[in-house]
DNA sequence: ATATGCGGAGCGTGCAATCA
DNA sequence: TGATTGCACGCTCCGCATAT
C-alpha cells in the first residue's frame, strides 16, 4: 500500500498555501475493510491500520491521506492513492476544518480550531504512542466511542467503491429564487421558539417516532402550561436576542450594500428625502423622510400598513430584509453580468484590433487598446442603433399625438362655431321675446301710439283715411272684429273724415265682403269698399283686354260681363286652393301663347294671416309666372300706385292729406308712402315684431291697433 | 408574517436508453 | 443518426402546529 503512495509531506498546518480549501461537512461511521489494510470508516473516511496511522479521508472531490507524526502535533498531508481499490479517488482538496471532523471531535480527538492541532488532542487518548498505537487507538476509540459508528457488511461492500453519481440535475448557472443575503441579520427568536428549539431535540430523542407537527403540538401545550418562572428564562433570552438583532440590523443598514440599494430606490422615486441616514430612531428613520403623511408606507417594499405597529413589525420582519438583500444581490448580479459583458466585448475588440494590427503591422500600443476599449465600436454602434430606434419610437408617438391633437382642434372649432350660432339665435330669440313682452304690456295697458302728433305726421293735416280690412278691422279667418276697431271706424265717420276700405281680398265678391263687415258691426256703403277686382275690370274694359282668369271661384263672379274668350292677358288673384300645378301651368301656357303677354296681379302680398297661421298670398305665384314667362306684372290693388290713386281720386283728397292704416308693412304702409301718403302700421293682423325694424319701410307711426291709430289721426285732422 | 425541521410534491434540466 | 421517452437529480415550495 505504502509503495502505491506518493508522500508529499505537506502539513495541514500549512494548508493556507492553497492545496486545502474545501470543507466537508460530515465524517461518517468507521469500519474495517475486507482487505484488512484499509479500515473503511464510511463513504468518506478510512483509517489505514498498517500505515502508521494513515488516515484516508474521502471527500466529495477526492481522497486525502493524513498521516500522524510522532511529534503528535502535526497531521501530515501524505499524498494521493494509486491503489487499485482507490483508483480514481484522486485527492483534490479538503480543509478538514472543525466541521469536517465534528464526529471525531466528539470523541475528544480533534480540536475544532483546526486539523493542525488535531494530534495535540492525542493527550486525551494517551501520551507517547507510536504510530501503530496511534492508528490502533484511533480506530478503537472511534469504534468504541462513536454511537453512530456502525456499518453493515453490505454497506461496507457497497461503500468500498463508491458509486459514481449520475449526471444531471439542476443546470449549472440556472437562476434560482433569491436566497436571503447571509449578511442580513436573522430576525430575533421569540421565547417560545427558543424553548421549542431546545425541547424539540429532547422530545425527538425520547420519541423518535413522533412527526414534526406532533412534536410541535406537544411543544405548544408545554409552552402554554409552562411555569412563568421557567418561561422567564426564555423570554429574557429572547429580549437579548432582540437587542442583538437591533445591533446587527443597525450595522447592516450602515453597510455600503444597503445604502446603495436605498439610494437606488430613492433614484427610482421610491424615496424623496435628500439624504439617507441611520439614527437611533431606526427602523422608522429611513422611511420617514417623506413626512408624516407616508409614515405608514414602506418604500422599499412598496407597501402600506394600517398602523405604526404593523409597520414596525414589518420593518423587523424577514420580508423587508429580503427585499433589501434581494436588491443587493440583484445589484451584484447585474454588476457581475456587466463586468462579464464588458470583458467579452473588450476581448472581442482586442481580438479585432489585434488582427488588424497584425495584418497592417502598424503595432498599436496598449494605451491605444485601452482607448479603443473605452470607445468600442461595438458600443457606439449599439448606442447609435438604440438611439435611432428610440428616436423612431418617439417620432411615431409624436405623430400620433399630433394627429389626435388635430382631430381635437377640428372638433373644437366645430363646437365653437356651433356655440356662436346658438348664441346668435339666442340673442335673436331674446330680442323677439322682449319685443313681444313690450307689445303685450302695451296691449294690457290699453291702446298706445308710439308718436306724438307733432312728430309722426310732420304737421300734415289729415283729411282722408284709407283702412285695410283684413287684419285691421277683423282677424282674418277668425271672423271677429279686432278690439276697438268697430268703435274706431265709427269715430272716424263721426268726425266727418272720408274713409275708404282698401283690400286685396279676392276670395269673395264686394257684396259678400260688405255683408260680412256689416255682420261684424261695421257700417259702410258698398262703394266705399275698394277690392282689386272692380279696379281690374275697369282696366280690362278700358284696354280692351280679354283675361285668362286664375282667381278664387267665388271672386270670379265679379268678372261677369268680361269677355274671357281668346285671352290676351292673364289676371291672377288669390286663388287659394286653385293654385294647383295644373292651373298655374295653364296660366303660364296662356302667357307663352300671347304675342305680347300681359299679367295682372290682384295685389302682390307675400302672405297673410289666417286662423293664427300665415298663408301664401298671391304675390309668390305672380312672381313665379313672371319668372317663367319673363313678363313684368302689372299690380292691381295694394301696393299699386294706380290703385291708391284711384281711391284718393274717389275721396277727393290729395295724397299728402291722406293716411293709410294697415297691418302689411310693405303693401299697405310702403305702398301708401310711395304714393305720398302717410302710413301707420298697426300691431295687429299679420304684424310681426321684425316689422318694427324693417330694412326698407319705415312707417310714420306704429299703433297697437286701429283705435290707437284713430286717436293719432283724429288729432292730426284738427 | 415569521421561526422552527422535515418530508413530499412538483418542476426543469440533462443524460441514457430506446426506437425508427 | 436523430427523435422520443423515461429517469435521476437538484432545487423550490408547501404544509404541518404554534406563539409572537
Residue A283 preceded by cis peptide, ω within 30: yes
Average pLDDT, chain A: 64
- Average pLDDT for A45-64: 38
Q: How far apart (Å, rounded) are the C-alpha atoms in residues A382 and A666?
A: 86
Calculate what percentage of chain A has a pLDDT beyond 70: 49
Residue A257: pLDDT band (50, 70, 90) is low
- Average pLDDT for A615-635: 91
- Contact present, A9 and A66 (Cβ < 8 Å): no
CA distances from A128 to A47, A67, A104, A111, A367 (A): 20, 16, 20, 19, 66
Q: What angle separates helix A212-225 from helix A191-206, to the nearest 10 degrees? A: 120
For A199-233, how does the pLDDT look when each residue is reduced to its tens digit (9 = 90+)?
777 777 777 666 666 677 777 777 777 777 777 77
DSSP state of A362: -
More confident residue, A267 or A661: A661
* Interior angle at CA A584, CA A579 and CA A585, nearest 5: 150
- Contact present, A473 and A706 (Cβ < 8 Å): yes
Q: How far apart (Å, rounded) are the C-alpha atoms in residues A94 and A116?
A: 13
Which nucleotide is closest, CA of A168 to its C1'? B14
Which nucleotides along chain B are within 7 A of a protein C-beta?
A: 1-6, 12-16
Q: Is the torsion defined by CA of A56, A60, A62, A66 positive or negative? A: negative
Distance of CA A713 to the CA centre of its chain: 74
For A478-523, how does the pLDDT look when each residue is reduced to its tens digit (9 = 90+)?
678 998 999 999 999 999 999 999 998 888 888 888 988 999 999 9
Beta carbon of A209 within 7 Å of strand B? no
Distance A205 CA to C20 C1' (A): 27
Of A117, A101, A130, the closest CA to residue A26 belongs to: A101
Distance A346 CA to B14 C1' (A): 33
Q: How far apart (Å, rounded) are the C-alpha atoms in residues A675 and A372?
A: 107
For A684-698, how does the pLDDT look when each residue is reduced to its tens digit (9 = 90+)?
988 888 888 888 899
The answer to which of A101-105, A559-563, A612-616 has the lowest mean pLDDT is: A101-105
Report whether pLDDT(A406) > 80. Answer: no
What are A477's three cell numbers?
A: 279667418
For A122-133, how does the pLDDT look when each residue is reduced to its tens digit (9 = 90+)?
222 233 323 333
Report whether pLDDT(A423) > 90. Answer: no
Residue A457: pLDDT band (50, 70, 90) is confident
Beta carbon of A627 within 7 Å of strand B? no
Distance A112 CA to C11 C1' (A): 31
Distance A93 CA to B5 C1' (A): 31
CA distances from A434 to A160, A330, A442, A713 (A): 119, 79, 12, 28
> pLDDT at position A184, please?
56
Residue A557: pLDDT band (50, 70, 90) is confident
Report whether pLDDT(A176) > 90. Answer: no
Using a 7 Å CB cutoff, list residues 296-325 of A near strand B: 317-320, 322
Q: Which residues touch strand C (CB under 7 A)?
A: A 165-166, 168-170, 176-177, 179, 190-192, 212-213, 216-217, 219-221, 223-224
The protein residue nearest C13 (Cα–C1') is A177
Beta carbon of A203 within 7 Å of strand B? no
> pLDDT at position A667, please?
87
Of A89, A2, A86, the closest CA to residue A51 belongs to: A2
Which nucleotide is closest, CA of A216 to its C1'? C17
More confident residue, A121 or A371: A371
Q: How far apart (Å, rounded) are the C-alpha atoms in residues A637 and A616?
A: 17
> pLDDT at position A593, please?
92
Beta carbon of A632 within 7 Å of strand B? no
> pLDDT at position A358, please?
38
- Tell me the pairing of strands A464-468 and A678-682: unpaired
> pLDDT at position A550, please?
94
Beta carbon of A213 within 7 Å of strand B? yes
The protein residue nearest B5 (Cα–C1') is A212
Distance A165 CA to B13 C1' (A): 16
- Tell me the pairing of strands A569-572 and A62-68: unpaired
Residues in contact with A472: Cβ distance below 8 Å, sequence separation at least 6, in sequence order: A482, A485, A661, A662, A663, A682, A684, A685, A706
Other CB atoms within 10 Å distance of the CB of residue A23? 15
Report whether pLDDT(A561) > 80. Answer: yes
Which nucleotides along chain C are within 7 A of a protein C-beta?
A: 7-13, 15-20
- Average pLDDT for A443-460: 67
More confident residue, A260 or A475: A475
Residue A606: pLDDT band (50, 70, 90) is confident
Distance A171 CA to C1 C1' (A): 26
* Residue entry with cell 289729415: A462
> pLDDT at position A137, please?
31
Amino acid at each position: 500500500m505504502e509503495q502505491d503512495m506518493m508522500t508529499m509531506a505537506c502539513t495541514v498546518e500549512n494548508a493556507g498555501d492553497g492545496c486545502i480549501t474545501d470543507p466537508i461537512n460530515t465524517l461518517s461511521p468507521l469500519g474495517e475493510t475486507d482487505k484488512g489494510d484499509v479500515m473503511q470508516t464510511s463513504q468518506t473516511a478510512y483509517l489505514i491500520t498498517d500505515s502508521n496511522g494513515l488516515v484516508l479521508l474521502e471527500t466529495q472531490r477526492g481522497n486525502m491521506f493524513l498521516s500522524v507524526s510522532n511529534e503528535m502535533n502535526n497531521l501530515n498531508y501524505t499524498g494521493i492513492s494509486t491503489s487499485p481499490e482507490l483508483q480514481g479517488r484522486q485527492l483534490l482538496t479538503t480543509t478538514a476544518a472543525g466541521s469536517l471532523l465534528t464526529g471525531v471531535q466528539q470523541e475528544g480527538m480533534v480540536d475544532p480550531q483546526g486539523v493542525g492541532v488535531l494530534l495535540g488532542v492525542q493527550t486525551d487518548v494517551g501520551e507517547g504512542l507510536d504510530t501503530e498505537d496511534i492508528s490502533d487507538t484511533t480506530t478503537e476509540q472511534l469504534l468504541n466511542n462513536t454511537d453512530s459508528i456502525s456499518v453493515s457488511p453490505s454497506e461496507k461492500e457497497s461503500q468500498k467503491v463508491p458509486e459514481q453519481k449520475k449526471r444531471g440535475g439542476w443546470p449549472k448557472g440556472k437562476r434560482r429564487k433569491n436566497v436571503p443575503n447571509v449578511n442580513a441579520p436573522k430576525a430575533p427568536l421569540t421565547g417560545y421558539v427558543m424553548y421549542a428549539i431546545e425541547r424539540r431535540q429532547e422530545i425527538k430523542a425520547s420519541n423518535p417516532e413522533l412527526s414534526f407537527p406532533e412534536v410541535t403540538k406537544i411543544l405548544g401545550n408545554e409552552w402554554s402550561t409552562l411555569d412563568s418562572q421557567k418561561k422567564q428564562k426564555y423570554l429574557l433570552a429572547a429580549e437579548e436576542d432582540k437587542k442583538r438583532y437591533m445591533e446587527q440590523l443597525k450595522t447592516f443598514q450602515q453597510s455600503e450594500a444597503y445604502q446603495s440599494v436605498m439610494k437606488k430606490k430613492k433614484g427610482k422615486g421610491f424615496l424623496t428625502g435628500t439624504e439617507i441616514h441611520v439614527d437611533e430612531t431606526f427602523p422608522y428613520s429611513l422611511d420617514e423622510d417623506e413626512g408624516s403623511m407616508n409614515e405608514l408606507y414602506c418604500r422599499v417594499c412598496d407597501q402600506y400598513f394600517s398602523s405604526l405597529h404593523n409597520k414596525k413589525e414589518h420593518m423587523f420582519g424577514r420580508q423587508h430584509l429580503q427585499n433589501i438583500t434581494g436588491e443587493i444581490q440583484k445589484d451584484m448580479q447585474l454588476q457581475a453580468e456587466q463586468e462579464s459583458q464588458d470583458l467579452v466585448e473588450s476581448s472581442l475588440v482586442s481580438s479585432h484590433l489585434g488582427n488588424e494590427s497584425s495584418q497592417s503591422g502598424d503595432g498599436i500600443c496598449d494605451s491605444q487598446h485601452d482607448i479603443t476599449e473605452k470607445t468600442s465600436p461595438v458600443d457606439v454602434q449599439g448606442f447609435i442603433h438604440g438611439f435611432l430606434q428610440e428616436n423612431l419610437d418617439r417620432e411615431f408617438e409624436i405623430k400620433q399625438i399630433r394627429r389626435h391633437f388635430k382631430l381635437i382642434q377640428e372638433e373644437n372649432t366645430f363646437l365653437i362655431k356651433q356655440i356662436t350660432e346658438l348664441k346668435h339665435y339666442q340673442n335673436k330669440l331674446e330680442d323677439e321675446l322682449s319685443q313681444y313682452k313690450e307689445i303685450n304690456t302695451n296691449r294690457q295697458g290699453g291702446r298706445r301710439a308710439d308718436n306724438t302728433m307733432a312728430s309722426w305726421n310732420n304737421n300734415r293735416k289729415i283729411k282722408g283715411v284709407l283702412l285695410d280690412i283684413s287684419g285691421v278691422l277683423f282677424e282674418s279667418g277668425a271672423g271677429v272684429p279686432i278690439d276697438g276697431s268697430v268703435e274706431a271706424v265709427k269715430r272716424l265717420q263721426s268726425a266727418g273724415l272720408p274713409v275708404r276700405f282698401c283690400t286685396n281680398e279676392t276670395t269673395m265678391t264686394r257684396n259678400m265682403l260688405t255683408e260680412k263687415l256689416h255682420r261684424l258691426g261695421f257700417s259702410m256703403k258698398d262703394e266705399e269698399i275698394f277690392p282689386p277686382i272692380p279696379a281690374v275690370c275697369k282696366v280690362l274694359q278700358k284696354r280692351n283686354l280679354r283675361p285668362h282668369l286664375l282667381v278664387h271661384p267665388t271672386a270670379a263672379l265679379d268678372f261677369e260681363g268680361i269677355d274671357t274668350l281668346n285671352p290676351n292677358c292673364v289676371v291672377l288673384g288669390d286663388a287659394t286652393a286653385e293654385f294647383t300645378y295644373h292651373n298655374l301651368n295653364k296660366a303660364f301656357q296662356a302667357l307663352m301663347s300671347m304675342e305680347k303677354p300681359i299679367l295682372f296681379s290682384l295685389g302682390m302680398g307675400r302672405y297673410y294671416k289666417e286662423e293664427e297661421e300665415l298663408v301664401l298670398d298671391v304675390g309668390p305665384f305672380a312672381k313665379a309666372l313672371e319668372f317663367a314667362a319673363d313678363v313684368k306684372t302689372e299690380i292691381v290693388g295694394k301696393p299699386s300706385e294706380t290703385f291708391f290713386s284711384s281711391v284718393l281720386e274717389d275721396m277727393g283728397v290729395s295724397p299728402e292729406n291722406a293716411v293709410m292704416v294697415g297691418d302689411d308693412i310693405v303693401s299697405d304702409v310702403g305702398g301708401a308712402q310711395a304714393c305720398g301718403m302717410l302710413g301707420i302700421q298697426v300691431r295687429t293682423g299679420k304684424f310681426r315684431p321684425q316689422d318694427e325694424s324693417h330694412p326698407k319701410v319705415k312707417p310714420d307711426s306704429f299703433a297697437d291697433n286701429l283705435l290707437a291709430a284713430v286717436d293719432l289721426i283724429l288729432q292730426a285732422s284738427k
